[in-house]
């Protein structure tokens, strides 16, 4: 375990340094982690895809319908049976219902703060920001799980980034700059590689997106891949000429340029981000919308050596609010659910068909649940006391429901779990002891998690 962690750590330093995104080294050695039972049973090249329902999807309209609840609480949608006897989910997710034997539903996740910033901080980091005297409207008190994985494990393949974030930054509330998906006090090289995406549909309906563009890596000015390669060759000629007068400086710049070029257009690294290399049938299968094409990109990345991917589901796609349905719940669910239903189920099936199901853990969740009572605008408001999550893959036991909420979907009824239990399970899948305390600076030595254990029902 120690050798694997340090190897990834060194690779991560080298990769981030030559991409020019770091702030220098300055990190001490990692503290010796405690051995984690059963971690050796997992593949060494494991990865996590965190499918984030930003804005917080309603548990009533997804994974925990309450058809017997009183009027004003029960959903306008009906429950439907799944292929696991006795398990029902909302009719908004018919494709999920056909593959419930491949996933685990957790209906009893909860925490104690119903604003977006605190909720995102809880789930993205496994820590309560306010318990550390930090205002999460301004900054994160802890690095997110992806950044810590970048520090401890590094990438599964040298040259690939360890942590990629697909979508738009999680700072969508009133212009605040909290960024719970980044590295907090860690050096900037442990922030994710952020892949900004854009739609080319009508800008209103996510089901009408006609294409998907990785905006961050797209050549400027309509520059083709072929012309980009030709420009790189011309730059290399100038570098060789300059190298005759200043060999050492030129060598450094050439290494930087080669790495940057490989990221954008290289046959190994850059190709991982090029969805045009997928056949039409596969792209059609995922759906030509941001949800589906983001999920396909996530699969390509973990397949080629990225260790942790967070992708943002666009929800209704009208703004960065995503699944924050304070009004028009029925309309918004009908818009947001079909692309998400297709994207999640296709991703899980595709991973299994490619022999990656044990390697890749998929976690679907958001920052909290939604209020039991439907408000006067026909929507549901923020609700931290209970939410649902879905897990798939990862060499865990599936086809089960863990925990439950009470009859009105207000609070956990059985087996209450916290966000740090989900995060601990992610770490366990990656062979990382959540109790380890890597040295992250001259005065900072903190455990990855202060609380939380792998969920035993999954083992």
Residue 9 scores a pLDDT above 50: no
Span 75-105, pLDDT tens digits: 999 999 999 999 999 999 999 999 999 999 9
Question: What mean pLDDT, rounded, does the chain reach?
Answer: 81
Average pLDDT over residues 370-398: 98
Average pLDDT over residues 412-435: 97
Residue (of 214, 211, 312) closest to 263 by Cα position: 214
The reported pTM is: 0.81
Residue (of 450, 279, 357) closest to 46 by Cα position: 357
Q: Are 182 and 191 in contact (CB under 8 A)?
A: yes
Span 304-363, pLDDT tens digits: 999 999 999 999 975 557 999 999 999 999 999 999 999 999 999 999 999 999 999 999
Rounded Cα distance between 164 and 157, Å, is 14
Q: Are 307 and 150 in contact (CB under 8 A)?
A: yes
- In this prediction, residue 219 carries a pLDDT of 56
Comparing 288 with 269, the larger pLDDT belongs to: 288
- In this prediction, residue 121 carries a pLDDT of 93
Tokens of 299: 């699969």
Residue 21 scores a pLDDT above 60: no
Span 223-263, pLDDT tens digits: 565 665 666 666 666 666 665 666 655 555 555 455 555 55
Most confidently modeled range among 152-161, 269-278, 334-343: 334-343
Helix, coil or strand: residue 288: coil
Place 206 in a pLDDT band, splitting at 50, 70 and 90.
very low
Report, in angstroms and rounded to the nearest whole number, the Rg of the chain calculated over CA atoms: 22
Instruction: Lay out the sheet containing 193-199: strands in order across.
Output: 212-214, 193-199, 163-167, 308-312, 47-52, 360-365, 387-393, 103-109, 400-402
Residue 55 scores a pLDDT above 80: yes
User: Where do the domains of the chain lie?
Assistant: 2-458
Q: Are 156 and 45 in contact (CB under 8 A)?
A: yes
| 2-458: CATH architecture | 3-Layer(aba) Sandwich (3.40)
């Amino acid at each position: 375990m120690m050798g694997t962690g340090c190897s990834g750590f060194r690779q991560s330093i080298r990769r981030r340094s030559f991409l020019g995104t770091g702030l220098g080294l300055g990190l001490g050695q990692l503290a010796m982690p405690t051995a984690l039972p059963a971690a050796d049973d997992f593949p060494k090249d494991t990865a996590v895809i965190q499918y984030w329902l930003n804005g917080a999807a309603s548990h009533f309209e997804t994974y925990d319908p309450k058809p017997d609840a009183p009027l004003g609480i029960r959903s306008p949608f009906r429950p439907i049976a799944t292929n696991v006897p006795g398990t029902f989910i909302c009719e908004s997710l018919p494709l999920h219902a056909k593959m419930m034997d491949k996933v685990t539903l957790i209906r009893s996740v909860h925490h104690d703060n119903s604003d977006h910033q605190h909720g995102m901080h809880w789930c993205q980091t496994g820590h309560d920001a306010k318990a550390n005297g930090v205002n999460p409207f301004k900054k994160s008190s802890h690095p997110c799980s992806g950044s810590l994985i970048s520090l401890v494990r590094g990438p599964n393949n040298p040259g690939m980034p360890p942590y990629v974030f697909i979508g738009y930054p999680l700072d969508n509330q009133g212009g605040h700059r909290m960024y719970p998906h980044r590295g907090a006090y860690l050096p900037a090289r442990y922030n994710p590689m952020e892949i900004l995406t854009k739609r080319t549909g009508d800008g209103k309906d996510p089901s009408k997106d006609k294409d998907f563009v990785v905006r961050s890596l797209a050549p400027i000015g309509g520059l083709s891949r072929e012309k980009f390669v030709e420009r790189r060759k011309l730059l290399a000629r100038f570098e060789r000429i300059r190298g005759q007068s200043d060999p050492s400086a030129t060598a450094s710049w050439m290494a930087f340029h080669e790495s940057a070029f490989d990221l954008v257009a290289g046959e190994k690294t850059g190709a991982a981000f090029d969805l045009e290399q997928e056949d039409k049938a596969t792209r059609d299968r995922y759906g030509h919308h941001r949800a589906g094409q983001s999920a396909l990109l996530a699969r390509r990345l973990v397949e080629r050596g990225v260790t942790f991917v967070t992708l943002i589901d666009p929800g209704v796609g009208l703004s960065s609010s995503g699944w924050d349905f304070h009004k028009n719940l029925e309309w918004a669910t009908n818009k947001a659910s079909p692309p998400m239903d297709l994207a999640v189920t296709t991703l899980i099936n595709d991973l299994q068909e490619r022999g990656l199901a044990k390697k890749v853990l998929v976690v679907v969740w958001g920052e909290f649940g939604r209020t039991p009572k439907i408000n006067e605008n026909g929507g549901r408001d923020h609700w931290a006391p209970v939410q649902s999550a879905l897990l798939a893959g990862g060499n865990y036991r599936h086809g089960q429901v863990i925990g439950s909420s009470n009859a009105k979907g207000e609070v956990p009824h059985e087996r209450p779990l916290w966000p740090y239990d989900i995060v601990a399970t992610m770490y366990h899948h990656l062979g990382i002891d959540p109790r380890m305390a890597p040295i992250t600076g001259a005065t900072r030595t903190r455990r990855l998690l202060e609380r939380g254990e792998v969920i035993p029902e999954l083992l």
